[in-house]
Structure formats: structure tokens, C-alpha cells
Amino acid sequence: MAESVTLTPNTYDTLGVVHCGVLRDFTASCAGDLHKLEDGEEYRFERAQVTVKRDGEAFTFTKQ
């Protein structure tokens, strides 16, 4: 079962026990790792096993 959380810039939350957030410059943060996403881009944080997808200002973090 997948868990997910949707965030916007300058917000953070947890996905289970993993901390996720979005910085003001559209950089996604997950378990201490950072990746700047372009609109429509998807990225997988391998260490945390979390995928993030950017749609405009909405970043959806999903853990499988």
C-alpha cells in the first residue's frame, strides 16, 4: 500500500517516519537528501525509497 503527501514550497511533513519538505527554490528534501525538480519532473530518493513528482507548485511524495 502506498502512502503519499502533497506539499508546496516552504512546507514540510512526514511520510511514515521519513521527513519530506520543499524549499522555496523548488528543491525537494527527503530524509536529508536534496534534489531540485523542474515542473513535470519525477525523482526517486533511493535511500528513503520515496518518489517525488512536481506539478507546478505541488510536490507529491509517495512511499511504496
C-alpha span between 22 and 55 (Å, rounded): 13
Question: What's the mean pLDDT in 9-22?
Answer: 96
Query: Is residue 21 over pLDDT 70?
Result: yes
Going from N- to C-terminal start, the domains of the chain cover 3-63
Extract the C-alpha cell encoding 34: 536534496
Extract the C-alpha cell encoding 21: 519538505
Q: How many CB atoms lie within 10 A of CB 43?
A: 17
Predicted confidence at residue 19, as pLDDT, reads 97
Model confidence band, residue 2 (pLDDT cutoffs 50, 70, 90): confident
Predicted confidence at residue 1, as pLDDT, reads 66
What's this model's pTM, rounded to 2 decimal places? Answer: 0.95
Extract the C-alpha cell encoding 39: 515542473
Question: What's the mean pLDDT in 45-59?
Answer: 97
Decide if 1 contacts 62 (C-beta within 8 A): no
The CA–CA distances, whole Å, from 59 to 39, 49 equal 9, 16
Query: Is residue 39 over pLDDT 90?
Result: yes
Question: What's the mean pLDDT in 22-39?
Answer: 97
